[in-house]
Structure 1
């Protein structure tokens, strides 16, 4: 039963990745049909990410009351409904209204599943969990690209992904009994290795936000999440537009090639899972950032060759692959299993703050100056991420991290 539950959790993470890359791949066509500037992609994604911030901050309370399984199923259903709302939106204002449930559906399920796997599974399974997010994120741009070829039908692309979400929702609701059967004990122990591991229950007091922020290393981890998701969100959202405007690639081709970034993340997380238990979380982060920086430098090279840009996107994806799962997986050991759900919820919120504000800010910079600033913008966040993760390793000394 427990192995079957893991399969269901992986499927839920596919559903989490499916909507994430749709706007970026469709926006070169969408903004024209909706009669808004290209920079308005940032407005839509800001609303979506704002919803995820709210639901992430409330995730601890929701999961304590309703359980991780029900929260996950309801969240995926909410996202599916929002996708259909997008497909029928006659203008940008209506699109923004549907962006609210679009975002609310993502935050709680992200926090719930990340904490569940961090508590009960090894680093290998955490990397593979996020690998399945990459499967969803890589499939949806390909689906959208196929619909864009047919008279720029981005609405059909959203509906197709919406139907996939409905199918996954049905699976999740049918799997609810599995979350109550054969529930394993957490795999991690508190600071005192001889003491029994303490599970968080609804009866235990919740940590307040000030209490969380006062814990050593938490603020550093939050800045690292902010920087990582700023980089990942900007890369995914503006890859197609960068290829079209700076490299002269056709919109439908750019939509398909932009999925290379998410394919890089997916492949990278699969192979990271193979070595994760041997290397450890911090070593995975270091290797990932090194590869990420190489990919950014490939984009920065002052040449027109489209091939180098495409290779750079893949390399950035490969570098991104282990970073997010490794930091999440170390959370129960870094801050205590009994605190991990609350802290992971705040980490998700910090991550989505980066996703909310930094990609739109690049849209403003691209409209004001040039979209050619794209790789420089990514480099800034890559360097912040490097500094914060190294500092975190000095602040928090646990065997799961070092």
Structure 2
């Protein structure tokens, strides 16, 4: 019973993480016009958000050790809710930059902690469904915003509404904190088969002294870690760039209205959400490596479709296809981390993986903004294809190295 309720709480936490992730790309065309800003100014806001997430991710192991997963999850949700509320009242662009900092910090530590917890103690389908609930939040965000824009044309009301939902979730997490304490007081914890044995979440931190002795250089010397980090880097380059610039691509190149573009961006995140729900069942038949490979191929097909002057509904549907392709990659990569590199190192390495994922979020979408500013939004599909191919090459190299390591043991 405790395990079931705990899973529900973790799923709710990932809904809260997903809610704000897709809002900026949807609202930016309107915000840009109201404030008379250049198109690529959104890149700096994204940089502040993801830069804060990077710092939070790398510090996550120490934060969780000190405060516990339950408190970190609650604080994260409360911080993002407060930051979104700040967005809704922001009088100028500079205030967006200010509130971007707690928005980023709110997501980093809890993302790492919950990912590691589920990777260690639950099967692959739970990891897929965990990230499916992130997709629920990421899909609901632009859908709610699009509906409010249609009815009121107020992006401020949209941010305020999302903030209110976020704070309700934070309140739920607050009143369930005793459940986390009760769970942590047990001498057993959840294993991969969903039952209890002697490995508590806190016991995983008994190895933190070993982890603390690992420097950045020694972590990077572990066979395959570099390729894992770069796979996350380029995965997030694709995922966030789609969310941030996809709407502008549809508006500028395909002449789709702002409201319809917002809808298709929501459907892109819907593709990720639905894909992860389905992947949870597929993972009973396919292993993580197979899931990653199929996901990359589907993503590549979706990106290639954007190159051609196809009818708008096909181009828009390719957003859904890209979302479906991306859906199993991130969860499968995270879930495979303890297998590839060992449970003792997984918390630290997953922290680095989340840090590199956030780095991909921070660097590549703004870089695309600069490229677009000096060329055209038509570069967007070529950019996506390039990032997908690099991700694929890094993933394949990682699979080969880690399989060699496992087979030699």
The TM-score with structure 2 as length reference comes to 0.93
Structure 1 gaps of 5+ residues are 189-194
The TM-score with structure 1 as length reference comes to 0.94
Instruction: Say which of 327, 334, 357 aligns to 2:333.
Output: 327
Instruction: Say which of 254, 270, 283 aligns to 2:261.
Output: 254
Which residue of structure 1 lines up, in the alignment, with residue 51 of structure 2? 50
Query: Does the 8 Å contact 1:244/1:254 carry over to 2?
Result: yes
Secondary structure at the counterpart of residue 300 of structure 1:
coil
Report how far residue 199 of structure 1 moved: 2.4
Instruction: Say which of 331, 335, 339 aligns to 2:345.
Output: 339
Report how far residue 148 of structure 1 moved: 1.5
Alpha-carbon distance between aligned partners in 2 of 1:315 and 1:55, rounded to the nearest angstrom: 31
Alpha-carbon distance between aligned partners in 1 of 2:377 and 2:384, rounded to the nearest angstrom: 12
Instruction: Say which of 308, 311, 316 aligns to 2:317.
Output: 311
Which residue of structure 1 lines up, in the alignment, with residue 374 of structure 2? 368
Q: In the alignment, is residue 200 of structure 1 matched against residue 205 of structure 2?
A: yes
Secondary structure at the counterpart of residue 201 of structure 1:
helix
Alpha-carbon distance between aligned partners in 1 of 2:142 and 2:303, rounded to the nearest angstrom: 21
Report how far residue 151 of structure 1 moved: 4.3
Which residue of structure 1 lines up, in the alignment, with residue 307 of structure 2? 300
Report how far residue 175 of structure 1 moved: 1.8
Which residue of structure 2 lines up, in the alignment, with residue 359 of structure 1? 365
Instruction: Say which of 258, 266, 271 aligns to 1:264.
Output: 271
Structure 2 counterparts to residues 1-400 of structure 1, below 5 A: 1-180=2-181, 181=183, 182=186, 184-187=189-192, 199-201=204-206, 204-205=209-210, 206=212, 207-303=214-310, 305-397=311-403
Query: Does the 8 Å contact 2:207/2:344 carry over to 1?
Result: no
Alpha-carbon distance between aligned partners in 2 of 1:90 and 1:59, rounded to the nearest angstrom: 32
Query: Does the 8 Å contact 1:295/1:315 carry over to 2?
Result: yes
Alpha-carbon distance between aligned partners in 1 of 2:378 and 2:208, rounded to the nearest angstrom: 53
Alpha-carbon distance between aligned partners in 2 of 1:17 and 1:269, rounded to the nearest angstrom: 14
Secondary structure at the counterpart of residue 303 of structure 2:
helix
Deviations 1:121-163, CA, capped at 9 Å, x for gaps = 0000000000000000000101111122234200011010000
Query: Does the 8 Å contact 1:47/1:100 carry over to 2?
Result: yes
Report how far residue 196 of structure 1 moved: 8.5
Query: Does the 8 Å contact 1:57/1:345 carry over to 2?
Result: yes
Report how far residue 399 of structure 1 moved: 7.3
Alpha-carbon distance between aligned partners in 2 of 1:263 and 1:187, rounded to the nearest angstrom: 28
Alpha-carbon distance between aligned partners in 2 of 1:56 and 1:324, rounded to the nearest angstrom: 16
Sort the Cα spacing of 1:227 and 1:155 in 2 relative to 1 into closer, same or farther, 3 A.
Answer: same
Report how far residue 237 of structure 1 moved: 0.5
Sort the Cα spacing of 1:399 and 1:285 in 2 relative to 1 into closer, same or farther, 3 A.
Answer: farther
Report how far residue 178 of structure 1 moved: 2.2
Report how far residue 204 of structure 1 moved: 2.6
Alpha-carbon distance between aligned partners in 1 of 2:371 and 2:149, rounded to the nearest angstrom: 27
Which residue of structure 2 lines up, in the alignment, with residue 191 of structure 1? none
Deviations 1:22-76, CA, capped at 9 Å, x for gaps = 0011111011112211111111101100000000000011011111111111011
Query: Does the 8 Å contact 1:64/1:201 carry over to 2?
Result: no
Report how far residue 208 of structure 1 moved: 2.6
Q: How much is the aligned-residue C-alpha RMSD, in angstroms?
A: 1.8
Which residue of structure 2 lines up, in the alignment, with residue 192 of structure 1? none
Secondary structure at the counterpart of residue 368 of structure 2:
helix
Alpha-carbon distance between aligned partners in 2 of 1:33 and 1:295, rounded to the nearest angstrom: 33
Sort the Cα spacing of 1:203 and 1:226 in 2 relative to 1 into closer, same or farther, 3 A.
Answer: closer
Alpha-carbon distance between aligned partners in 1 of 2:152 and 2:275, rounded to the nearest angstrom: 34
Secondary structure at the counterpart of residue 302 of structure 1:
coil
Alpha-carbon distance between aligned partners in 1 of 2:277 and 2:406, rounded to the nearest angstrom: 23
Alpha-carbon distance between aligned partners in 1 of 2:341 and 2:47, rounded to the nearest angstrom: 30
